[in-house]
Structure 1
Amino acid sequence: MTSRVTFISPAMNAALRQARFDDGRTPLDTTGAAQAAAAAGTLPSPARVLTSPSSRCQETAEALGLLGLLGPAIPELAALDVGRWRGRSLDEVSAAEPEPVGRWLTDPGCAPHGGESVRDLCDRVARWLTTAQDLDGRTLAVVEPEIVRAAVLHALGMPTAAFWRLDVAPLTATELSGRAGRWNLRLGRPLAAPDTD
């Protein structure tokens, strides 16, 4: 059996625009909600829809018209826990704690904020992907960008040190298909309908 998981990155919100460590409760902004609504109907029909627990992921799924298929939020697909940095911008944290931020960005096993390390996040997503291979049909998962990064690293067998070198744009689809522990990858398809001009 071939398993198919399409990861959708959420639409924009104020936290993303400000490079702020989101607390999971920041809603989509007006532009993000409108862009997600405009992309409704551009995705293949799924057997199930899953989300990260954050407001922006759940609101993106709703704006994409996926509410009728929406299952519960999946804790394994939650955003990286940044501990005491939650709610602060990267600039603020970098000014107050330059050395810890530097270590965090270069050492995947480091968690100076008291939360979760990048390595722990990648391990969590890898475990979830192992179970996802047993799901029948297409799964759409509206998830935080760091979940997409971790899934790509696992699918390609890349080192966790490459985590911060992967950019995930808002409202893009990253598709994994695989069987027997091997994944193939299709990166960053925009959700907006193509221009017909």
Structure 2
Amino acid sequence: MTSRVTLVSPATSPSLRQARFDDGASVDDVGAARARAAAGSLPSAAAVVLSPSVRCRETAEALGLAGAPAPELAALDVGHWRGRTLDEVGAAEPEAVGRWLTDPGWAAHGGESVRDLCGRIGRWLDTAGGVDGRTVAVVEPEVVRAAVVHVLGLPAASFWRLDVAPLTATELSGRAGRWNLRLGRPLTAQDADRCLAPDQAAGSR
């Protein structure tokens, strides 16, 4: 049995543009418009799940996906840094930020370490690997990073070397312990056309 998991990163939001630890902000107008334009660009799925954040829920809705939030797919818990920008935290706690970016086991902000996040997402993937069919998950960028670390067996320290652009899909196929990876592709209106029958695509222009 081969399982398929498509991880979709959220559309742009003020938090993403400002490098602000998620503060519950909605996606911005540009991000929402691009998500709506890409509706239909994803293959049909047996299940749709979401990171339990406003921007992931709004992205899914704009893409025409109806899914349920999954607590195990929550963003990295950054404790008392939530809602602040990286520059603000760096100015107030430069040594702490340095440790956070170099030590994947560090969690003195009162939240979760990068290593713990990678373990949490890895456990979810291993469970998803036993599910027949495709799962589409609209998730925070750090969840995508953690998934890539897990499926490639990378050291947790490589987490920060992975960039995840907004509205991209990272596709996994296989099963627990034997995943193949297709790195993030942009979701575009052209992708949506390719998912339609030829007569539907012609009528959409």
Q: Please confirm whether the aligned pair reaches a TM-score higher than 0.5, indicating the same fold.
A: yes
Would the aligned equivalents of 2:32 and 2:59 in 1 still touch at CA under 8 Å? yes
Q: What is the CA distance between 1:112 and its match in structure 2?
A: 2.2
1:97 and 2:93 correspond:
yes
SS at match of 2:110: coil
Question: Which structure has the larger Rg over C-alpha atoms?
Answer: 2
Secondary structure in structure 1 of the residue aligned to 2:122:
helix
The equivalent of 2:56 in structure 1 is 57
* 2:125 and 2:176 in contact (8 A); partners too: no
Does residue 31 (structure 1) correspond to residue 27 (structure 2)? The answer is no
Q: Distance in 1 between matches of 2:175 and 2:155?
A: 21
* Residues paired across the two proteins, number: 192
Structure 2 CA distance for aligned equivalents of residues 127 and 81 of structure 1: 17
1:129 and 1:42 mapped to 2: Cα distance?
A: 23
Question: Could you say which residue in structure 2 is the equivalent of 1:5?
Answer: 5
Q: Does 1:47 align with 2:46?
A: yes
TM-score, normalised via structure 1 length:
0.95
Tell me the residue number matched to 2:73. Answer: 77
- Counterpart of 1:194 in 2: which secondary structure? helix
Q: CA RMSD in A?
A: 1.2
Contact 2:126 2:176 in 1 (8 A): no
Name the TM-score, length of structure 2 as normaliser.
0.91
Q: AA paired with 1:33?
A: A
Q: Does 1:136 align with 2:135?
A: no
Is the 2:121–2:146 Cα contact (8 Å) retained in structure 1?
Answer: yes
Percent identity of equivalent pairs: 74
Q: Are 1:169 and 2:168 an aligned pair?
A: no
SS at match of 1:44: coil
Q: Show structure 1 runs of 5+ residues with no match.
A: none
CA distance in 1, matches of 2:135, 2:149: 19
